[in-house]
Amino acid sequence: MKHLGPVHDFLGIKITKTKDTYFLSQRQYATAILQQMNLASCKPLANPTCTKFPPSYSSDSSLDPQLYRRSTGSLQYLTLTRPDIAYSVNQLSQHLHDPQPQHFFMLKRLLRYIQGTLAFGIPITKTNLHLKSFSDADWAGDPDTRRSTSGYCSFLGDTIISWTVTKQHTVARSSTESEYRALAALTTDIIWLRRLLSEFGIDQTEPTEIFCDNTSAIALANNPVFHARTKHIEIDQKYVREHLQQNNIRLLPISTVDQTADIFTKALSTPRFLTLRNKLTVSADPLACGEILSV
């Protein structure tokens, strides 16, 4: 083994060190993806998604399904330092088998957003070691299957350490059911994180706070009486309640406006997206010059 000095690059992730911060970014890797799609000189956008699609799409015969799959697969690795694009990449990944013109439109829009945020990444800051999480779900958000999308993230102090975007396996019959399934999935992730931190000697003496904007899901978790109408989510209900009773987690209400995990579950307007991106701590490399984005 050889001591190579302070770390500055690891598997395509650039690590920049300042006084009390490590900054992780993948600028070179993102640039390679743009070059692969011949979009290295495209105009940037401020939002990777759109809330309303155009009435028609280009019928360009050069749309290559293999290139779509290759680029989408590459973007999945880029999400290691870019949680702000996790929802967009998740949407693209659902159509690898048969990409249509609207999916190429979504891909190019995402790449134009990346073009304007090449220097962006996530900082690891010197802060407290208190674990907290945010959970959200978009009920029946998929217009084809009406399945919901779960999204959640966890912070250790001010540093984001875990995030997930996933489509639920079954159709939820209510918003409470979809939110509760997201809570159950997040609870599993939190228990693993607490055990991992414990192995590092960072014991979480207090329950991990989970912020949820669905008061019905919180009430269901705290209600010791099991109702027949919630029988279809009995396992999730008992699982979350068990960890509540063991003081591993604590559910707290939060306004939808302040729900950080909202960025993982749906397409947002540009002002809303930028606000939540800041809450995720995704920002430009402090040693790189700033860039101006077009809306």
In this predicted structure, what is the pLDDT of residue 293? 46
- Of the chain, the percentage scoring pLDDT greater than 70 comes to 92
Banded pLDDT at 227 (limits 50, 70, 90): low
In this predicted structure, what is the pLDDT of residue 194? 96
The H or E element spanning position 51 is none
| CA 277 to centroid of chain Cα atoms | 10
Closest alpha carbon to 204 in 154, 165, 240, 252: 154
Region 220-228 average pLDDT: 67
Q: Which residue has the higher pLDDT, 42 or 4?
A: 42
| CA 200 to centroid of chain Cα atoms | 25
Q: Is the pLDDT of residue 89 over 70?
A: yes
In this predicted structure, what is the pLDDT of residue 294? 43
Q: Is the pLDDT of residue 259 over 50?
A: yes
Mapping DSSP to helix (H, G, I), strand (E, B) and coil, where does residue 189 land? helix
Region 35-52 average pLDDT: 91
pTM: 0.90
- Averaged pLDDT of the chain: 89
Banded pLDDT at 292 (limits 50, 70, 90): very low
Region 69-75 average pLDDT: 94
Contacts of 175 (CB under 8 A, 6+ apart): 137, 139, 214, 216
| CA 1 to centroid of chain Cα atoms | 36
In this predicted structure, what is the pLDDT of residue 212? 95
Region 2-16 average pLDDT: 87
> What CATH fold (topology level) applies to the domain 128-262?
Nucleotidyltransferase; domain 5 (3.30.420)
Q: Is the pLDDT of residue 99 over 60?
A: yes
Q: Is the pLDDT of residue 176 over 70?
A: yes
Q: Rounded distance, CA 158 to CA 226, Å?
A: 37
Q: Is the pLDDT of residue 18 over 50?
A: yes
Region 86-101 average pLDDT: 93
pLDDT in tens, 123-150: 999 889 999 999 999 998 888 889 999 9
Portions of the chain given CATH number 3.30.420.10: 128-262
Q: Which residue has the higher pLDDT, 271 or 55?
A: 271
pLDDT in tens, 199-221: 999 999 999 999 999 998 898 88
Task: Please work out, in degrees rounded to the nearest 5, the angle formed at the alpha carbon of residue 240 by the alpha carbons of 239 and 243.
Answer: 90
* 157 token code pair: 């102090």
Banded pLDDT at 62 (limits 50, 70, 90): low
What DSSP line would sit under 34-47, residue for residue? HHHTT-TTPPP-S-
Banded pLDDT at 290 (limits 50, 70, 90): very low
